[in-house]
Structure 1
């Protein structure tokens, strides 16, 4: 059930304690993919898992702005501080839990959100009346994960499969021509760069020409299957909440 299109009387009758919160970002993805790529992809994965899952699950509206200051030099990028982001996500989970949806998977589409989501999920589970875990879709696509990049083949492929009108196919060659082949400016194991503009001219990392709708379908099948398995586990898992002394 999608909360944004449901009536409150419908929500009241849902017999589940399971929910998902899609979490994305509004940030540059090169000249070929939209600023909302991460949000669109997070929504796609959450919605697909919800449709395929045998048991009911509530899907909240997506969080469209995340931790993305690393893309600040590219027009249209929006970002928030980590503390604000964590508080906002925690409040959403608290709202869901107040209605009985107290087992929540945070379905993430942006790498910059990952550390903060792990931290806030821990705080929620330890201190609030809810259990939350993060899930980042591109970490659950097997060997393809190493090809993630940014505006690269994986993100572009998922868009081509589900939201093809959002991809400017005529810009793929230009996107690839100025793309970086890795995330950062490295000395040994130390990344010297904090912002993407330091190592990529157009914001792209990886070759989006390697994307295809068929690859997107394969990615969606893999990550939605992993998310379904996680939801089933979360539904049964009893987190240890020791009494505070």
Structure 2
């Protein structure tokens, strides 16, 4: 059930305690992909997972702004501080828990949110308010994960499958030519760069031309299957906390 479309009485009468919260970012994704890429892909994967899951789940509205100051030199990018993001997402989840939705999966579409959503899950779970786990879709697509860049082949492929009208196909060559091969500037296993503009001229990392619609269909299938599997595990898990040893 989509929370945005439901009434309060619909939610009151549900017999589920499981919810999904998509989380993304509004940030540059090169000259060819929309600023909302991370929100759109998180929502697409969330919906794909719910389609594959047999039981009822509440799908919360997506949280569209994340930890993205590393893209601040590119116009249109929005961000909040890590502290604000953690507080906002945590409190949003706790509001769901107050209505009995005590099992929550965060479906994340942005690399900059990864550490924070894990921390949010731990904080809320240890406080006993809900059981919360994060799921980042591009970490759950098998061998494809090694190709994850930024506005690169994976995100471009998934957009071509889910939101083809938003991909500026006439800019793919430009995106490929101005992009970086990898994220960051590395010496002695240390990333010297804090902002993406330090190592990519146009914001792209990876080759978006390597992400066609067929690959996007496969990515959505893989991520959707893995999310459904996770939802099953969360639904069945004993969420009481261990006793002190």
Which range, TM-score by smaller chain?
over 0.9
Q: CA deviation at 1:92?
A: 1.1
Q: Residues 5-20 of structure 1: matches in 2 within 5 Å?
A: 5-20=5-20
Match of 1:64 in 2: 64
Q: Residues 44-123 of structure 1: matches in 2 within 5 Å?
A: 44-123=44-123
Q: CA deviation at 1:240?
A: 4.6
| Matches of 1:43 and 1:239, distance apart in 2 | 26
TM-score normalised by the chain length of structure 1: 0.97
Q: List alignment gaps of at least 5 residues for structure 2.
A: none
Q: Residues 132-143 of structure 1: matches in 2 within 5 Å?
A: 132-143=132-143
Match of 2:172 in 1: 172
Q: CA deviation at 1:49?
A: 1.1
Q: CA deviation at 1:188?
A: 2.3
TM-score normalised by the chain length of structure 2: 0.97
| Matches of 1:140 and 1:49, distance apart in 2 | 12
| Matches of 1:226 and 1:133, distance apart in 2 | 14
| Matches of 1:243 and 1:99, distance apart in 2 | 26
1:237 aligns with 2:224: no
Q: CA deviation at 1:107?
A: 0.3
1:154 aligns with 2:133: no
Deviation per CA, 1:150-206, whole angstroms, max 9, x where unpaired?
000000111110110110001000000000000001102010000000000000000
| Matches of 1:156 and 1:235, distance apart in 2 | 32
| Matches of 1:51 and 1:30, distance apart in 2 | 31
| Matches of 1:8 and 1:52, distance apart in 2 | 25
Match of 1:198 in 2: 198
| Matches of 2:243 and 2:148, distance apart in 1 | 41
* SS of corresponding position for 1:20: strand
Q: CA deviation at 1:48?
A: 1.2
* SS of corresponding position for 1:104: strand
Match of 2:23 in 1: 23
Match of 1:40 in 2: 40
The ranges of structure 1 where at least 4 consecutive aligned residues each deviate by more than 6 angstroms after the TM superposition are none
Q: CA deviation at 1:243?
A: 6.5
Total equivalences in the alignment: 244
Q: CA deviation at 1:77?
A: 0.4
* SS of corresponding position for 2:4: helix
Q: List alignment gaps of at least 5 residues for structure 1.
A: none
